Structure 1
Amino acid sequence: MILRAFTDRFVLLLMATVLLASFLPVSGRSAEIASDISSAAIFLLFLLHGLRLPREELARALKNWKLQAALLAFVFGAMAAAGFGLSHLTARWLPTDLALGLLFLGTLPSTVQSATAYSSLAGGNVAASVVAAALLNLTGVVLTPLLFAALASTAGVTVTGDAVLRILTILLLPFALGQILQAWLRPYIAERKSLVTWVDRTAIAIAVYVAFSGAVVDGALGRVSAGEFALLGCAVAAFLAFGFGGAWLAGGALRLDGPDRRTMLFSGAQKSIAIGAPLAAILFAPDRAGIILLPVLVYHLAQLVLSAPLAARLGESRG
């Protein structure tokens, strides 16, 4: 199961994208063109999200209010607070943008596909997991930038009005259009799941490539020492322990039943690079986005490595 996490096609795509940006970064006029292509791909990505998400699922999310409220509070409350704390604790030893990346990581919503897949493997409430992923990601498009801006202001970082406008036009507008066009285009999209998955992953990979290219051209990645990378690894490990341990304990404290508690674990502790990469491309300058996104990439791989055997163990023990 651990080997499967390392050989997941999306993980391999992200690793290949970072390597490509490290050795063949895009710069100058080409970087501007790549940034425009990335924005168009992100627009298409969220248009597809709007087309695929049935409005009925969002309505159903309100029925299991105890689980959904707990997930919202944990993902955007406890995890954001943990990211804020880790960012401040490591700020003395890590480059400013790398420490801010830990805060950015903490404010992101949960994953969609992997949280649902591991909830299913562990014997969790799959329907609730699907709805939670939709609700958390839709909320995160709006709430993540606001949370990050509020918490990062203590470090003198601000989210500009231009960035907010780009979020509205590149993320929320296409999602709303997708919801409007659902009646006509959703059947077509539903029949082409593999194509939609390919578009999803390609859009994220382009955003990651543009972000890391900026960091390479600026020299920011080269200025991160081996010791700083090691400290980042320790910080991500601590974040994982808090995320998975905290979500499991919170589910127990709320007396959620077995399936809901397993859904709380995987939907609450995982973080979404599918939202993180597009938001980083919008919120931060190209020479900063790659470094700020680095903790998200490390956490994404680590959460898959941890989730695979954990879900299998919970699935075997359920009864």
Structure 2
Amino acid sequence: MTTVLASLTRLVTAVLAKLRIDPFIAAILATVGIASLLPATGGAATGFGIASKIAVGLLFFLYGARLSGQEALDGIRHWRLHVTVLCATFVLFPLLGLAASALSPGLLTSPLYTGVLFLCLLPSTVQSSIAFTSVAKGNVAAAICSASLSNLLGIVVTPLLVALLLSTGGPGVSGSAVLDIVLQLLVPFVAGQLARRWIGPWVQRHSAPLKLVDRGSILLVVYTAFSAGMAEGIWHTLDVGPLLVLAGVCVVLLAVVLGATGGGAKLLGFDRADRITIVFCGSKKSLASGLPMATVLFGHSEVGLIVLPLMLFHQIQLIVCAAMARRYARRAPAEEPEGLVAAG
């Protein structure tokens, strides 16, 4: 059986290579297809949600085990990079969201424009930003600090921006989100740091198999997120025309931010690894933070359409950034150290 599976794997890889399709991109698209046909609901959805949390915890435990204490401190001290990412997340994105008001009500209905602006006010993702930075061989230590800081600040900044730019009448965001971030991210990372003296060499020696943790966690996020959208029925609330317009808006929004973060980081004199971190941390928007925030900040009858742009943007950013991460990895200098990017 093992021989048959190995032969089948080689055959599929060869076919994808001949068609010039990256296997990771194919896996993401296949995951979206599976979630469309067989979405996780009820107990299965709960199970996948728990599995995603475990995967995130394991991911951060391994990052802690890979990073030396000095490298972690260097990531924390890299304030110019963190300021750049935060400006992209909480300044550039909101400005683009306000500019999109020109499309409403002509191309975007009022609820859809509200959704576009809302997604522009959200913090960056944590897990996928760091995983893609690792795959692309960027500055993982800085990515961990920057993405985590964005999420922590977003708990306060996003509701304030929503109150300033949108009329919601909703209550503030629960502080339990802070506890979730600490338990899912900080605690496993610190545990990995403490265990590094015993398992660090083993993690370095087994870098190739551990790629499955990075990429497998992304696939879990894709399946869980898309399943949630299917279960809520929000993918069926629009006709094809408005949905294509919304997809186009999301693509343009992502393209502008990717170009601005990449070009801006180069102009500011950041090196290659830092530019990768800025691009991936500065261009993402968190579905994990956005969905619970939306349920608190907006009425239940409005949430479906308001979160639709976020759901769509989330899928697009995962697919586009997965392709970019692989492209960065292929172009990485041969002499680049492997210490921080073992999962790539």
TM-score, normalised with respect to structure 1: 0.71
C-alpha distance in structure 1 between counterparts of 2:119 and 2:285, whole Å:
15
Return the offset for 1:192: 1.8
Moved more, 179-188 or 260-269: 260-269
1:229 to 243, 249, 272: 243
The residue aligned with 2:74 is 60
SS class of match (1:194) = coil
SS of aligned partner of 1:195: coil
Change (3 A) 1:16 1:130: same
User: What is the number of equivalent residue pairs in this alignment?
Assistant: 299
Secondary structure of 2:40 counterpart: coil
| Alignment pair present for 1:14 and 2:22 | no
The 1:186/1:291 distance shift into structure 2, 3 A limit, reads farther
Whether the 8 Å contact between 1:86 and 1:102 is mirrored in structure 2 is no
Residues 1:40 and 1:221: Cα distance change in structure 2 (over 3 Å): same
Counterpart of 1:123 in structure 2 is: none
Matched AA of 1:299 = Q
Tell me, yes or no, if the aligned pair for 1:86 and 1:235 is still in contact at 8 Å. no
Aligned to 1:159: 173
Deviates further, 168-177 or 147-156: 147-156
**Aligned-partner Cα distance in 2 for 1:307–1:32:** 30
Structure 1 SS opposite 2:44: helix
CA distance in 2, matches of 1:284, 1:35: 18
Q: 1:81 — aligned with what?
A: 94
Partner of 1:205: 219
Indicate how the Cα distance of structure 1 residues 69 and 39 shifts in structure 2: closer, same or farther if over 3 A, else same. closer
How far is the alpha carbon of 1:311 from its aligned partner?
10
Q: Which residue is equivalent to 1:297?
A: 315
Aligned residue number for residue 111 of structure 1: 129
Contiguous gaps of at least 5 residues in structure 1 = 121-125
Alignment TM-score, normalising by the size of structure 2? 0.67
Aligned in 2, Cα 1:232/1:59: closer, same or farther, shift over 3 Å? same
In the alignment, which residue of structure 1 is the partner of 2:50? 36
The equivalent residue for 1:72 is 85
Task: Give me the identity figure in percent.
Answer: 22
Q: Letter of the 1:208 partner, please give it.
A: V
Deviation at 1:61, TM superposition (A): 4.2
Answer yes or no: is 1:143 the counterpart of 2:150: no
Q: Distance in 2 between matches of 1:190 and 1:104?
A: 38
Counterpart amino acid of residue 11 in structure 1: I
2:339 corresponds to: none
Q: Which amino acid aligns with 2:176?
A: D
Q: Is the 8 A contact 2:287 2:311 kept in 1?
A: yes
After superposing the two structures, state which structure 1 stretch, 269-278 or 34-43, moved more.
269-278
Which amino acid in 2 is paired with 1:174?
P
Instruction: Give the alignment's Cα RMSD to 1 decimal.
Output: 4.2
Kept after mapping to 2: 8 A contact 1:75/1:107: no
2:132 is equivalent to residue 133 of structure 1: no
- Whole-angstrom distance in 1 between the partners of 2:52 and 2:134: 27
Question: Which structure shows the higher helix fraction?
Answer: 1
